[in-house]
Amino acid sequence: MKKTLLKTLAFLFSFSVFSQNTLPDSSVKKILLLDNNLLKIRKLYNLAESVNNTDIRRAKRIFHLSYHIAKVNNHLEWIPKIEFNLGNAGANLSQPDSAFYYYNRALYAFQKQNNLKWEARIFGKICWVYNNLGNFEKALLYGFRALTIYQKLNDPIGIAKANSELAFVFFSQNKLEDAINYAQKAYDEQKQSNILRDLSTSAQILGDAWLQSGNIQKALAFHNESLAIRRLFNYDIDIALSLNSRANTYIKKRQYSSALADYNQSLQIAQRSGIYWLTSSVTGNIGQVYKLMEQYRDALPYLLENEKLLKKTFHSQQAVDNYKLLAEAYGQLNQYDSAFYFQKKASYIGDSLLRIQNSTQFSSLKTQYESEQKETQIALQNKQLSEDRIKLWALSSFLGLMLIGGLMLFRLIRTLRQRNKEKEYLIREIHHRVKNNLQVLSSLLHLQSRYIKDKVALEAIRESENRVEAMGLIHQKLYMGVNPGTVDMNDYLKNLGISLLDSFGLITTEQVKINYKLDQIYLDVDTAMIIGLIVNELLTNSLKYAFPEGRTGEIELSLCEENGKLCLQVKDNGIGSAKAPELNNGTAFGLNLVKILSKKLKGESKIIETTEGYSTFLQFEKVLGNRTVLGI
């Protein structure tokens, strides 16, 4: 629990570098102090959902915390749900790359689970993002994918949601009749099923579409209904959207004071929530109202602020419209230099958009021309094909013979594979028997040690027992592993460390702790055997001499690859060799064995001593060839 908490706090610190107002609030701190990681994830997730409608940036930070804990602790059932919500945050904060990244990760996970309902939800969200980017073709593609899945599931509520999402795309394309038809189907189902939040969305789309169609009364009725539902449930961001839409209706009715009141309420919510695209839309609308009221000096601050916001949201057409309003406002205030400047910017960007549109039309004509050319080529190719049929028959006969040969080759390969499997089984059996024989030898040494009274002799027997255990562990890993020819050094060295701690009676205490820094390295049997014996000797020396009289400490065991060479190091923070007379007065057989084994690896061992602690460092080539431990 403590490790997880430290990792989480470290993640929070690193995350805070990239965000504003990043220190965790008291509610987050309390959750992070809980013992149960699953409970942490659930509480952080619920907290993020509760603030998501009022402060998206804060919600996103909390979702990131829960995401980090879920990934560290491998809680797979939570990861795609959190990724979905992080995608929503990216979409609402005008960060489409982030939105697509998390949506696609969540989509992959739910598709593996065959969870069609979640798959359809994600398609609907991707539809919304593409619509905001102006890519209506892809928006419709994902919208209809979502609708197809809901229809397959016979889910009327899901079908209504997909119809509402498609209606929004049609409205963005100014296809008002389609927008009204799809939104009305969604509205009717949601009203009948009493799905109020989705109903408020469909009502807003209907209001916007009827407003563009010129039916102001219908538009106002739908906007009032949408706003009333959202206020009933205190959906802040949705309230801001409804206020903005209703204000647009008031402008059509020339009720400018009512429009400004709604726009100002909407702007406060948008700014508080940190949604740039909504803040930009409402800010520009306020500037336009003041322009319609011929209060140009009041309009300027909003239009200039909107210019900055549009640079963050990358909405080119809105930028052109805003530049035109700025040019008009400055012109009415007799500031002609500024008016000319913004008119020029509007013309330049407008021309760029026109060039892009013309380029698209040119590409379409080019495609049509190329299609006609291809049709002519196809006619010529058909004639050529009839001439090639005879050749094809001859080729087919040849391929038939090749197929027969291929079948024979397949049978041969299958036979060889079967033989290889038999050989692999025999190799595993050999390793198993060698391990059993070494286990018997270790047991005999252990039995013999019970009758030895001399302390020096007893230590020598136990050290020999540990060496046999180290070699036996190699053969155990080989017959139990995937590949009987290589040893996973990460797994092997950790097991060797645990075995030695158990041998010294330290496995259940916290007196000495072994820290591992091991790369994922696979070595041949002989090399692994030599390294195992070296590590056995070095760990044994540290456990025997570095921590006398119950002294606590740590041993670090590392094996890594640097510049094509393998580096092995064993170091402790014990009393050091100068304060360990037993080490200096001993037979030094273990250290001599380390030096001999190092030469077998064509490497050299280097002893590093400090005021506290003892360290041995060994570097050798990774590609070592075949070696033998016999005859050392």
Q: d(Cα 465, Cα 468) in Å, to the nearest integer?
A: 5
Q: Per residue in 542-557, pLDDT tens?
A: 888 888 877 888 899 9
Mean of all residue pLDDT scores within the chain? 79
Mean pLDDT of 594-623: 78
Residue 264 neighbours by CB under 8 Å, 6+ apart = 286
Q: Where are the domains of the chain?
A: 491-621
pLDDT of residue 276: 73
Residues 6+ apart with CB under 8 A from 469: 438, 442, 499, 503
End-to-end CA distance of the chain: 46
Give me the pLDDT at residue 481, please: 61
Here the tokens at position 348 are 């330049």
Residue 185 has pLDDT above 90, yes or no: yes
pTM (two decimals): 0.51
Stretch among 108-112, 183-187, 604-608 having the lowest mean pLDDT: 604-608
120: which DSSP letter?
Answer: H
Mean pLDDT of 309-334: 77
- The pLDDT score that the predictor gives to residue 607 is 75
Count of CB atoms situated within 10 Å of the CB of 350: 17
CA dist list (Å): 47 to 1, 66, 449:
21, 10, 62
Residue of 93, 94, 90, 92 lying closest to 105 (CA atoms): 90
E strand or H helix at 108 = helix 96-112
Chain centre distance of CA 252:
46
* Inter-residue contact 543 to 528 (CB < 8 Å): no
Confidence of residue 363 (pLDDT cuts 50, 70, 90): very low
Cα four-point dihedral sign 503, 508, 509, 510: positive
Cβ atoms within 10 Å of 103's Cβ, excluding its own:
24
Q: What is the CATH number of domain 491-621?
A: 3.30.565.10
* Percent of the chain residues past pLDDT 70, beyond the cut: 77
Per-residue confidence band for 78, with pLDDT thresholds at 50, 70 and 90: very high
The percentage of the chain sitting over the pLDDT mark of 90, rounded to a whole number, equals 24
Buried b (16+ CB within 10 A) or exposed e, 8-23: beebbeeeeeeeeeee
Alpha-carbon distances, residue 491 vs 495, 516, 557 (angstroms): 6, 10, 13
Q: Which residues contact 398 (CB under 8 A, 6 or more apart)?
A: none
Measured at the CA of 128, the angle between CA 127 and CA 130, to 5 degrees, comes to: 65
Burial of 36 (0-12, 13-18, 19+ CB in 10 A): exposed
Alpha carbon 580 to its chain centroid, in Å, reads 50
- pLDDT exceeds cutoff 60 at 626: no
**Beta bridge partner(s), residue 621:** 565
Mean pLDDT of the region 108-127? 93
Q: Could you read off the pLDDT of 227-268 as tens digits, one per residue?
A: 999 888 887 888 888 999 999 999 888 999 998 999 999 898
Residues in the chain: 632
Query: What digits encode the pLDDT tens for the residues 199-211?
Result: 999 999 999 999 9
